[in-house]
Each structure stands twice: as C-alpha cells, then as structure tokens.
Structure 1
Amino acid sequence: MVTLGLLHTSAVHVPVFDGLRDEGHPGVELRHHVVEELLERARVVGAEAVAPDVRDALVRVVGGGAEGGSGGGVGAVLCTCSTIGGVAEALGGDLGVPVLRVDRPMAAAAVASGPRVVVLATVESTVGPTVALVEEEAVRAGRAASVRAELVGGAWELFLAGDSAGYAEAVARAVRGVRGADVIVLAQASMAGGAELDPEGEARVPVLSSPRVGLAAAVGAAGG
C-alpha cells in the first residue's frame, strides 16, 4: 500500500484531502499531522525561524507518528501550508523521503498559462513564499512571468471564526475582481472553495488552487 504523510497547520484540511484521496487515489493511506502553532508562529517571526519545529513535525510524520498511522514510515510527505512549505521542502533532503510543498504543481501550471500571474492570499505571510515560488517555476520553465499579489482583506478572520462559507465567498469576490491577469493563483489550500463559487467563469481566466494537483504529485512521489 502507498502511504503518504501530510503536515497541516489547520485541521480543516484533513477532510478535504481525505475526500480528494477517495475521489482520485483510492487505496492510498493518508497519515495526517496537524500543528496549528507552526503557522501562528511563522506569521509573527517568519517561516525560517520555525524551521527546527517544522523539522520536528516532519520527523514525526516520516517515522509513522502522525494521526491515523498504523506504524512504519511513509513514502513521501506533503506540506499543505504555503507559508512553511518552502522550509519543509528544503528539509526533505535530510529525512530520507521526498517532502513536497502542495503549491509547487499549481505554480508550474500558472506559468504555463500566461505571463501575467495574480496571486491571491488571505494571509500576508503566504504572499512572499508564493510569489517567489511562481517566479522560480517561471525560471525553471524558461518563461517570462509578471507576478502581482493581492491580499483578500478580512477573509482570514472569517476562516478563524469557522465561517467556511463566508471565507469562500470572500475569496470568490476577490477572484471576480481581478483584472489584467492571464491566470489567478489561490495561494493557500484553504482558498480552493472560492474557485468553486465562480460557476459562470466570471474571472474569464484560469483560477488555480493547490489541493488536488498537490496531492496527485505527492502520491506519485510516494510510489502511487
């Protein structure tokens, strides 16, 4: 059986990724590990400053200590938090298994969609890492990219309050308000629901989110 570990900074991601696994990757075992304070601290002191704690969390996931595990290790780890994703990815070389950030496949798809990329985020600490990732993928692909970031004001407070519908609608409104873009990137996995609220395609450009493509890449890295 293919076993994939997931490091989350919010418990809301657990059912989302379980559902995506059931849809596209039946039979894959997911082992979830939630450490909410990693994002909370990274927002204050920066992602690099929490690297030792990210490493500790990854070691637990790799060793089979994540929630839902039945012992033994995992074939790969997926970090679903865009703020600390780059730090987690960089630590993978020391852990003996691939560590993937959930948003890299999305960033690669974005630069293939056109040069004008708008990144929407609801947490300011995610903006820098996501913009840098898109620019990195553009260089890797040999494509030109002009990346602009916009913060969705007030949305994160709705998320913290547990208002998932209000949060998704705030993201959807921001999507509909974007102009001058070839593609829109939703920086955080939690924002994916906002893309689903644009059924008529009012954005008129691709709106990319990370969970589905990120999970598929991680399952492949784990041997699935």
Structure 2
Amino acid sequence: MRIACLHTAQVHVATFSDLFADKAPDAQVVHVVREDLLARAQVGGISAVAEMFADVIAALGETDAILCTCSTLGPLVDQLQNPKVIRIDRPLMEVAATLGTKPLLAIYLESTRAASLSLLMEADAAIAPTVHLCDGAWGLFESGDMAGFADAVATSVRKASVGHNCVILAQASMRVAEPALRDLKIPVLSSPALAADRVIGVALS
C-alpha cells in the first residue's frame, strides 16, 4: 500500500508518519511539503494556486491514496474529483455534523474560514455553527513555538466553547491543543486520526 501526503508545513510530517506507522505499519508513505502553496493562497486566494496544486498532485505518481493535509486547499481537492485524493477535514466535518446543531468551528488562519465552513454545512445544512478565530495563534505556529501555539488555541477555544455541542479543531496542527481541552464537557474533534483512517480505507479499496 502506497500513500502520499501533501503538506504545507513541515510539522505535519512527524504527525502523519506516526499515525500511519501505528495504523498501517506496512504502508509506504511519501511526504511532500510545499509551504509555498499556502503562502500564495493566503495572498491571492486558492484559485491562484489551483494549477500548481493539480501539478503537484499529478507528480505524486502511482499511489493508492493521496491526503492533502491543508484545510485552506481543501476545495482544490474537491475540484479534482478524484476519489483517491482526500481532503483532510472531510471525515472530521462528517463526524461533527452528527453531534448536534451548535458546533464551535475553531480556526487560527482566516484563509481557512470559507473552506471549513462550507464543508461543514455540506455535511449538514441544518446546523448553526459558530466560527471562532484563535487570534494570535498563527504567529506562534509560524515561529515554531508549538507549546505556545497549543496553549493559545486551548485558551481561546475554552473561552468560546460555552453553549456549543462540540468543538471542531478545523486545522490539523490544532490537534496539539486537544490534551488541554479533555476536561471540557463536550466532544473535542481534530482531523488527523480521522483522515488517516479514511485514507487507509481508500488505499485498501
């Protein structure tokens, strides 16, 4: 089984290497990091990188499944209409949509807002999510301060979570805040493990 991962941050390589080593130890996993895709999308929108994104996916060659771990680029995955290419947050949103009508959709990058909200509403148009931007977290992530990033996300989410059915940590890197939120009385969901399970299922199909 051959799986390819397209990341826009180096930090995701270790996360998904560990997940696949645990869930599919015999899989051959290839990681490609293209920080420039996210950087350009933040400036010009995802349409500005659509062609480049498609070229990167095509260059991954013969694989059983491909995972794009960047939520901002998720709509470009959908545009490919290739069942073997998975956007990281689709399994997450599908699960979240079953947990009540008032989820808190937490993000830390404004460029992710539209893509994440659209996907959640696609999963269930009847829900009424609150989109919460974790101010200041992006700078910590960008500087490599993952402990500070995790604390900033957890603190921000905790304050905003009152009155909601669940918390959706919309971007893969927000997973590091989960341990600090375990005492919340509502489910806290992140995308990496759910996405890994989906990718393995696709690769085996």
* TM beyond 0.5: yes
Residue of structure 1 equivalent to 2:189: 208
CA distance in 1, matches of 2:28, 2:63: 9
* Aligned with 2:76 (options 78, 81, 87): 87
Residue of structure 1 equivalent to 2:95: 109
Residue of structure 1 equivalent to 2:150: 168
Residue of structure 2 equivalent to 1:9: 8
CA change 1:89–1:31 in 2 (3 A) is: farther
Offset at residue 179 of structure 1 (A): 1.6
Are the equivalent residues in 1 in contact too, given 2:67–2:88 (CA < 8 A)? Answer: yes
Matches within 5 A, 1:158-197: 158-177=140-159, 178-197=161-180
Does 1:149 find its partner at 2:138? no
TM-score (norm 2): 0.96
Q: Secondary structure in 2 aligned to 1:204?
A: coil
Does 1:128 find its partner at 2:114? yes
Consecutive unaligned residues in structure 2, runs of 5 or more: none
Offset at residue 89 of structure 1 (A): 3.0
Give the letter for the 2:118 counterpart.
Answer: A
CA distance in 2, matches of 1:211, 1:168: 15
Root-mean-square deviation over aligned CA pairs = 1.2
Deviates more, 1:21-30 or 1:188-197: 21-30
CA distance in 2, matches of 1:92, 1:12: 28
Percent identity for Structure 1 against Structure 2? 37
Question: CA deviation digits over 1:46-87, x for unaligned, max 9?
Answer: 1122100110110111x1xxxxxxxxx101111000000121
The number of residue pairs the alignment matches comes to: 204
Q: Secondary structure in 1 aligned to 2:164?
A: coil
Matches within 5 A, 1:15-30: 15-30=14-29
CA distance in 2, matches of 1:29, 1:147: 38
CA distance in 2, matches of 1:175, 1:25: 32
TM-score (norm 1): 0.88
Give the letter for the 1:14 counterpart.
Answer: V
Are the equivalent residues in 2 in contact too, given 1:81–1:188 (CA < 8 A)? Answer: yes
CA distance in 1, matches of 2:162, 2:39: 31
Offset at residue 138 of structure 1 (A): 0.7
Q: Secondary structure in 2 aligned to 1:120?
A: strand
Give the letter for the 1:54 counterpart.
Answer: F
Are the equivalent residues in 2 in contact too, given 1:127–1:187 (CA < 8 A)? Answer: no
Offset at residue 92 of structure 1 (A): 4.1
CA distance in 2, matches of 1:77, 1:128: 23
Question: CA deviation digits over 1:126-167, x for unaligned, max 9?
Answer: 01100100000114xxxx200110110000000011000000
Are the equivalent residues in 1 in contact too, given 2:8–2:38 (CA < 8 A)? Answer: yes
CA distance in 1, matches of 2:178, 2:78: 26
CA distance in 1, matches of 2:46, 2:135: 21
Residue of structure 2 equivalent to 1:69: none
Does 1:219 find its partner at 2:200? yes
